[in-house]
Amino acid sequence: MVVSVSLVGRAQSTFVPLNDDYYHLIDRYEIRSGKLSDSFHSSVKPFQRTAVINLVDSIMADRKIALSDQDFHNFQYLRNDSWEFVKGPTPDSRKQLWNRFYKKPSDFYHSQNDNVDLHVNPVMLTTLGQENNTSSMLWTTARGVEIRGMIANKLGFYTFVTDTQGTFPEYVRDYTDYAAKVKTYAPNTFNIPGETLAKVLRRTGVDFLSARGYITFSALKQKMNFQFGHDRNFYGSGFRSLILSDFATSYLFLKIDTHLGRFRYTNLFCSLINDQIVRFQDEVIPKKMVVIHHLSTNLGKNFNIGVFEAEVLSRTRQQGFEINYLNPIIFYRFVESYLGSADNALLGFDAKWNLKKKISAYGQFILDEFLTKDIVSGRGSWANKYAAQIGVKYIDALGIKNLDLQAEYNVARPYIYSHKDGYTNYVQNNQPLAHPQGANFKELLGIVRYQPTRRLTLYGTMMLSTYGADDQYNQGGNPLISYNLRPGYIVDKKFEVGNFIGQGHTVKTTFVDLRLSYMLKHNLFLEARQLFRNADSPTNPLLGSNTTMSSLSVRYNLAYRQQVF
């Protein structure tokens, strides 16, 4: 076997793209290590590639941790995926294409010298399926390219672009009505969950582009990292995030991540778009801004706690850009009061506790606003707006190696994430920044992951949810709709109390997603999927639906598309 030596001594790197399957492996091995990682805080994602390599190398060096054959395979997979940051020899591919391509198992093409480290990979997805045992075929095809690298070991860069066409299941197509209710232009375009503007293709199909890209560098002896570009971010340790998830389409942001000992302080300045106004099709979409700061600390080896604050704001062209919120170390609520504005503020905290190298318990609590007297009385004031999450992960469950279980409960009261209009609601491009369901819901998730062999993994996801859909009034579920359209504001003040989860038309949804994934070669997956989804509303049968879907997929260097809602 031919061996080459990678460049070493770098603390700067690009980030591992958000991918639930991939990040589960990282969470799994942090739990197995018996201590929280010093290289990252898992409540703030994505992680730098160097941090993942540091975690893997530390576990491999610890002889006290019992590892399975599948674990060693996963370690090799993670190391190959970021091989340029592995210290010492790294294997070359046994079969190279024309002695120029696939010199490494993970890279179609790479070039590495003292000035530039470049990695180029194709991206591909092909899916064929059938819905509800009818002649209606589901299909998706995507192709693109992913490029990452470093310049002079100082400046990291990443870019990704795909062109996609296809037909999604009916429940996904129905979800686009979530935004269509407030769109008053461009009738032949809509927003696909997690994507930007899509064009109608063959009546039920879609055609859209996806793109991400950023630059990153570190300063102050690697204590501060700066990232600027278009991508997504995720705060939390769960399958869902009630703070900031990767559900909405990517956005422009500047992130400053400061790491001082046990403390990690992250500033996120995001430029979003408000696509909820009447405008001409070719008119520039108005902008809004979200600023978030998050401080987390490791208390001991296995407990992490974090606090965060977010502010959604917008200013007219006459008012200009609001620079007061650029202060990275100030309490945003004070700034809001100081400016005399009515911006939208959110506060909260998150926590994680790893136990016995087997279990990880985690949670989040998010507060929009509340009235203490009404919380105590339990009258259900509309102004008591909060969301909460609690979850647990169980690694090598029941003594079965590589069987990982996860249970998670999420709840969000009506009207949280909503505000007066599209300029200040917690929404990006007509898509929620937190949970896909918006608000006015409770949800129980169960996830099973089992890896019986090196290359074969079985996934099972189950969701039971209760959601309150709007009737003739805004019942607080859809954050795109102004909270000034609630019954208590436009009908009678008596409706300002008596607001509880599921109000409006109650919709109960059962969702089961079973997937078998086989890795043919590095990041090339052959997958079979079976999905069952049933939604039922006793008060409005039109909100009910029943979906059964089977599909086969081949995907390469592309994350599995999660559509659990």
Least confident of 145-154, 168-177, 205-214: 168-177
Cα angle value 381/473/478 (rounded, 5°) = 75
Neighbouring CB atoms inside 10 A of 2's CB total 10
What average pLDDT does the segment 166-174 reach?
87
* Per-residue pLDDT tens digits for 339-372: 667 788 899 999 999 999 999 999 999 998 776 6
More confidently predicted of 378 and 187: 378
**What percent of the chain has pLDDT above 70?**
90
Domains of the chain: 3-556 (2.40.160.10)
Cα angle value 26/238/562 (rounded, 5°) = 85
For residue 349, how far is the Cα from the chain centroid? 18
Identify which of 342, 338, 308, 307 has the alpha carbon closest to the alpha carbon of residue 323.
338
**Average model confidence (pLDDT) across the chain:** 88
Position 3 scores a pLDDT of: 38
Q: Buried b / exposed e across 270-293, counting CB within 10 Å, b at 16+?
A: bebbbbbeeeeeeeeebebbbbbb
Position 327 scores a pLDDT of: 76
Position 375 scores a pLDDT of: 67
Neighbouring CB atoms inside 10 A of 71's CB total 22
3-state secondary structure of 453: coil
* Per-residue pLDDT tens digits for 542-554: 889 999 999 999 9
- When pLDDT is cut at 50, 70 and 90, the band that residue 4 belongs to is very low
Position 6 scores a pLDDT of: 41
Least confident of 83-97, 201-215, 217-231: 83-97
Entry pTM: 0.92
Q: Where do runs of H (alpha helix) occur along 248-331?
A: none
Which residue type sits at 424? T
486, with CB counted inside 10 A (0-12, 13-18, 19+), is buried
- When pLDDT is cut at 50, 70 and 90, the band that residue 2 belongs to is very low
Position 247 scores a pLDDT of: 93
Cα angle value 103/231/246 (rounded, 5°) = 110
Least confident of 85-94, 107-116, 238-247: 85-94
Q: How far is residue 432's CA from residue 86's CA, in Å, rounded to a whole number?
A: 38
* Per-residue pLDDT tens digits for 295-335: 999 998 999 999 999 999 886 654 556 777 777 777 777 67
Identify which of 12, 51, 23 has the alpha carbon closest to the alpha carbon of residue 226.
12
Q: Which long-range contacts (CB under 8 A, 24 or more apart) does 220-226 make?
A: 222/11, 222/12, 223/258, 223/259, 223/260, 224/256, 224/257, 224/258, 224/259, 225/12, 225/48, 225/255, 225/256, 225/257, 225/259, 226/254, 226/255, 226/256, 226/257
Position 340 scores a pLDDT of: 65
Q: How far is residue 434's CA from residue 139's CA, in Å, rounded to a whole number?
A: 28
What average pLDDT does the segment 191-208 reach?
81
Least confident of 54-58, 121-125, 199-203, 300-304: 199-203
Neighbouring CB atoms inside 10 A of 320's CB total 8
What are the angstrom distances between the C-alpha of 401 and each of 32, 41, 458, 479, 536? 12, 26, 13, 42, 38
What average pLDDT does the segment 84-105 reach?
81
Q: If DSSP states are collapsed to H, E and C, what string results for 172-219?
A: HHHHCHHHHCCCCCCCCEEECCCCCEEEEECCCEEEEEEEEEEEEEEE
Q: How far is residue 557's CA from residue 565's CA, in Å, rounded to a whole number?
A: 24
φ and ψ at 50, to 5 degrees? -60, -35
Position 162 scores a pLDDT of: 96
Position 341 scores a pLDDT of: 72
* Per-residue pLDDT tens digits for 435-478: 999 999 999 999 999 999 999 999 999 999 999 999 889 999 99
Q: Buried b / exposed e across 412-444, counting CB within 10 Å, b at 16+?
A: bbbbbbbbebbbbbbbbbbbbbbbbbbbbbbbe
3-state secondary structure of 162: strand
3-state secondary structure of 77: helix
3-state secondary structure of 32: helix
Which residue type sits at 280? F
* Per-residue pLDDT tens digits for 392-432: 999 999 999 999 999 999 999 999 999 998 889 999 988 99
